[in-house]
Structure 1
């Protein structure tokens, strides 16, 4: 209850300042700052907070978790759902906590936000970490549908359903939504053999206060795809540009994350470099829970 009260006070504080953001910090403000950018649109940072944020702070980082404007616990009926709006919110965090530089940790869709922000404000970012992050959206959608077509080669009903999705407008929220719905139904986001550690983390989260505040704005994806022109992008060229600006880029992905093809992973690894890339076994999309010990080991090695 105490954490919810603190979150409520912080939310009210930010609302009063026109920020309308839920935000919470973990650890010592004198340590290296990590800003976690969650997935979505319509996501939130509750899983990261309920399983990972404090444990990561205990390793010697100052961890900042927040929900983007209009998503999760950052309710805002006037949210525009654009990348530029997301950048404004990140900059408000820098201002609020007097940050000159921070490590940006982007998960899933948050990886797109993190990459585009780093490209626009490279001097603000000491390192960019892509954790199960999107970077070539159309290739991800193609991979999901191609994988399912092979799986259901002899199932006409499923193939018909896949074909309907395949023929939707590829720049629409409905196309994205239905691709990920198919992926979810077919366990693309689940680790194959849950460990005792991951089972406990998920169980503790589901029994805790953060799970109760797992708020999702179902209209967020639709509004994002209406308002944001950059809605089906490939950021690999941008990542190469960031690298030339001397911002270190790290990639950490699960081998069993079903939304990325081996060709995609290979192309990203070529950008980050061998020493800046980790491919975790028995691990899917939520790698900071699936393989938390290995996840922390890599972050500590790279960032400390």
Structure 2
């Protein structure tokens, strides 16, 4: 029986690594012997391009081994017919990254939705996570939608966009747990500038302009819908409220939070709750940054991250 179990385990690992090579796009920066960082991108349905193009090499230059990958069905990764799009599969895919690159332990950077994914992974595999760093990561999706509506309304009033205000009125009458509601909230977040820093650092502007010229930028801007619909249908991810689980996790895994002062996806209610969950000394608001702190204020992002890694 023991031999059968070993054979089955080896077969599973071979299948997992083979499936990884076929399904998930990945890239690495730096030397394998350096402390490992795995970046978990946002979405679901987005990809790792912006972090890969802007920050991967810079962190490698600071002495880290950085792994980026596009989650299943996202960006440059494939969307196999047998994909389940549930939390168990998403966690298994992260574990496949560890296996593929022979990483025993890593710091997880969870950007936006990637923060929830990182939390889910760290709950199951705390022994493989040095620390979890939340970057612009919602821990309360219903509160994020409330913040978006509030901030979008203020932006539309300031810019005198009466038509958009009428759309917000209709949106507020929709089922707040529906996927359509969530999608429209994120559309208005983009349309009203909630992802945009008011005064990014000069190199942040340069990074953003350079990425616009990249051949991969069209792919990067292509949101894929299979992960969005699948994770909604199977897990209702847009209803997640994770404060209690975040508080529980930090007893086993150090958790840090880094959020931009201009990030319109958050209000004081959620930011205060996250600060309370992770601890005041492990929570940072980065001035003049929005949702992508690692672009808007890259030097501050790297300085904070290095502090967390010590």
Q: Same fold (TM over 0.5)?
A: yes
Per the alignment, residue 271 of structure 1 pairs with: 277
C-alpha distance in 2 between matches for 1:213 and 1:148: 27
1:144 aligns with 2:151: no
- What per-residue deviation string (whole Å, max 9, x for no partner) do you get for residues 32-54 of structure 1? 11110000111000011111111
Per the alignment, residue 202 of structure 1 pairs with: 208
Structure 1 residue 73: deviation in Å?
A: 0.7
- Please give the secondary structure, in 2, of the residue aligned with 1:74: coil
Structure 1 residue 58: deviation in Å?
A: 0.9
1:26 aligns with 2:32: no
1:211 aligns with 2:217: yes
Is the CA contact (8 Å cut-off) linking 1:47 and 1:210 kept in structure 2?
no
Structure 1 residue 208: deviation in Å?
A: 2.5
Per the alignment, residue 292 of structure 2 pairs with: 286
C-alpha distance in 2 between matches for 1:127 and 1:73: 27
Aligned length: 291
The change in CA–CA distance for 1:185 and 1:58 in structure 2 (over 3 A counts) is same
Per the alignment, residue 232 of structure 2 pairs with: 225
Structure 1 residue 221: deviation in Å?
A: 1.7
Structure 2 residue corresponding to 1:166, chosen from 172, 184, 188: 172
The change in CA–CA distance for 1:54 and 1:210 in structure 2 (over 3 A counts) is farther
1:240-255 equivalences under 5 Å are 240-245=247-252, 247-255=253-261
Structure 1 residue 15: deviation in Å?
A: 9.7
Is the CA contact (8 Å cut-off) linking 2:44 and 2:113 kept in structure 1?
yes
Structure 1 residue 291: deviation in Å?
A: 0.1
C-alpha distance in 2 between matches for 1:270 and 1:239: 10
Structure 1 residue 224: deviation in Å?
A: 2.3
Structure 1 length-normalised TM: 0.89
Structure 2 residue corresponding to 1:103, chosen from 89, 104, 107: 107
C-alpha distance in 1 between matches for 2:211 and 2:151: 31
Per the alignment, residue 75 of structure 1 pairs with: 78
Per the alignment, residue 190 of structure 1 pairs with: 196
Alignment root-mean-square deviation, CA: 2.1
1:128 aligns with 2:135: no
- Please give the secondary structure, in 2, of the residue aligned with 1:189: coil
For structure 1, which runs of at least 5 residues remain unmatched after alignment?
1-13
Structure 1 residue 195: deviation in Å?
A: 2.9
Structure 2 residue corresponding to 1:48, chosen from 42, 46, 51: 51
For structure 2, which runs of at least 5 residues remain unmatched after alignment?
1-14
1:6-25 equivalences under 5 Å are 17-19=18-20, 20-25=23-28
Structure 2 residue corresponding to 1:117, chosen from 121, 136, 160: 121
C-alpha distance in 2 between matches for 1:271 and 1:15: 34
Structure 1 residue corresponding to 2:40, chosen from 22, 33, 37: 37
- Please give the secondary structure, in 1, of the residue aligned with 2:55: helix
C-alpha distance in 2 between matches for 1:132 and 1:289: 12
Is the CA contact (8 Å cut-off) linking 2:16 and 2:96 kept in structure 1?
no
Per the alignment, residue 93 of structure 2 pairs with: 89
Structure 2 length-normalised TM: 0.88
Residues 166-175 or 83-92, more deviating = 166-175
- Please give the secondary structure, in 1, of the residue aligned with 2:239: coil
